Amino acid sequence: MAVIDELGDALARDVIAASEKLGDDRLFDKLAKIVGDASPTLLEAFTTGYRVRMAERRARKWLEAALAAGKADEVR
């Protein structure tokens, strides 16, 4: 259902921004508990959106470091 995916992804974006603003790296876990208690379906979409966005951020940081170093082999 598209509306579930849209809501979950929007919530994921918002929790990432709020986590950075508040300096609370556990905010995702706290919100996931609240969402999961109300709607396991929304929890799945939220979790997927969050994980995909965080994975993309880590991948971009790695790629930027590899480009800065001039070699992918030197980046961890």
pLDDT by 10-residue block (mean), the chain, 76 residues: 93 98 96 97 97 96 88 68
Cβ atoms within 10 A of the Cβ of 5, count? 15
Cβ atoms within 10 A of the Cβ of 9, count? 17
pLDDT at 57: 95
**Beta carbons within 8 Å of 48's beta carbon, 6+ residues apart:** 8, 12
Whether the Cβ atoms of residue 75 and residue 39 lie closer than 8 Å to each other: no
pLDDT at 68: 87
pLDDT at 71: 74
| Tokens standing for residue 27 | 């905010």
Residue showing tokens 């109300």: 38
